[in-house]
Amino acid sequence: MSESPYPPFPGVEPFDTTRSVDEERRHRLNTCAAGYRIFGAMRWGQLGDGHISARDPELTDHFWMLDWGVGFARATVEHLVLVGPGGRVRDHSGDLTGAINTAGYNIHAPLLEARPDVISAAHTHTPYGTPWSANVEPFRAISQESCAFVFDQGLFDDEEVEVLSYDGGKRIAAALGTGKLCILRNHGLLTVGGSVEEAVGWFAMAERVAEVHVKAPGAKAISDEAAAVAASTLGTRHAGWRLFQWLRVNTLP
């Protein structure tokens, strides 16, 4: 038997379709909490801006996200709350507020409803993603990593930057379409994935791509043909999963 091209990282579970509902829930909660800590380690979300969701594997119209007021860097599974339709918090520890980021609900709920294939979405305000979004332009194939997104992105050209309405989130979902990245005008980046790992991994890569765009505004893009070749390896589900593993190994204790 040939060796798998995607060996597991030490102590980290690879893709597993045999987990029970309870095991899958625990896995999603663990990776969601780790995703917040990764964001914290990157010094993102220090002003309380941003959110990562994890769809519940049983109550599929519910999702988990961080309790309001908990710093990203100290997020644990116990700090996550289960959010149901209408923004109602169904399950949380007695030590938590049970409150959630309103914009977070308005973004994640309609997006997860529109995309049954999506398990997780990630968004926060970053040093390069937010300024790039003010250009209201999609990514171009001007770096290796950008090839993972150029054929798989949406652009939300809308002035509802606070996303105070559920309809605003529905418009974001429509702008995203079937992609994995949406650039939110004057706001920042949003990524989705078929796992929490993918959503977080794609977000970190998208921020790197935004940095290249901000620092090299006159860059020459490679051809669509060359970008497609790079995208065939850089834009896969496994590639997104592996990004998360590298982030966890390199940024968390």
- For the chain, domains (ranges, CATH) are 21-251 (3.40.225.10)
Taking the CA atoms of 195, 25, 36 and 9 in sequence, report the sign of the dihedral they define. Answer: negative
What whole-number percentage of the chain has pLDDT above 70?
95
Averaged over 56-82, what is the pLDDT? 95
Q: Give the pLDDT confidence of 135-193 residue by residue, as tens digits.
A: 999 999 999 999 999 999 999 999 999 999 999 999 999 999 999 999 999 999 999 99
Mean pLDDT of 11-19: 80
For residue range 200-216, list pLDDT tens digits in order: 999 999 999 999 999 99
Residue of 99 and 42 predicted with greater confidence? 42
Q: Is the pLDDT of residue 6 over 60?
A: no
Q: Which residue has the higher pLDDT, 8 or 247?
A: 247
pTM value? Answer: 0.94
Q: What local confidence, expressed as pLDDT, does residue 94 receive? A: 54
